[in-house]
Amino acid sequence: MLLAAPAACRSGGPETVVAKFVAAQNAHDVERALGLLSDGFVFRDPESTFHVSRLAARPLFEWDAAARWRGEASIVGVAGETVRTHLVETNEFLEQLGLGPMSHDVTFVVSDGRIREIVASFDPALQSAVDSAVAPVLVWARETRPRRLDGLVGPDGGIVYDGPSATGWLSLLREARAAGVIE
């Protein structure tokens, strides 16, 4: 992983905190990742169209762990406690759909040795690609395995992002691939 220069790791600066966070995510260690977040932590996009608190982030980290998240972050710049990175990531969910890896810019703001904010830019085309790849699986599952969708799809029809749903999705995607629904 090319996250922090050796000098930054020795200094214990914000780059070190970010490196520890990415390492915890790669190790699928939800507790360690959460432990690196401040109590007032927020995850958001640059436009602030969504905000995820520390408490609400747990299911997302559990999804990442169950979906076997893998990522590499390269530091683009550091200004005080702000670390700008370019992140390339993938997981088994994306791979089963034939998508990924995805890349985006992620900014970490660190205070007192803990991450206060993660600001991630996302390519809308990725969500569109995920929706398109999942659509035939949903049609197939509704016809052949409707009960398997319980807990995987929310009331709004969107994917539920938590640990149990990631495990369920991976199983369902493997079955869909075996049935020829996914090429």
pLDDT, tens digit (0-9, with 9 covering 90-100), for 46-59: 999 999 999 999 99
Cα distances (angstroms) measured from residue 26 to each of 65, 137, 172: 8, 28, 24
Cα distances (angstroms) measured from residue 163 to each of 16, 40, 67, 69, 151: 27, 23, 8, 12, 11
| Residue position matching structure tokens 């780059």 | 15
pLDDT at 11: 53
- Report the Cα–Cα distance between both ends of the chain, in Å, rounded: 31
At residue 124 the predicted structure's pLDDT band, cuts being 50, 70 and 90, is confident
pTM of the predicted protein model? 0.90
pLDDT, tens digit (0-9, with 9 covering 90-100), for 2-61: 343 333 443 579 999 999 999 999 999 999 999 999 999 999 999 999 999 999 999 999
d(CA 75, CA 27): 20
| Integer-rounded Cα radius of gyration of the chain | 17
The full set of domains in the chain, from first to last, is 6-120 (3.10.450.50), 124-178 (no CATH)
Cβ contact 137:173 at 8 Å = yes
| Residue position matching structure tokens 């990631």 | 166
d(CA 112, CA 143): 52
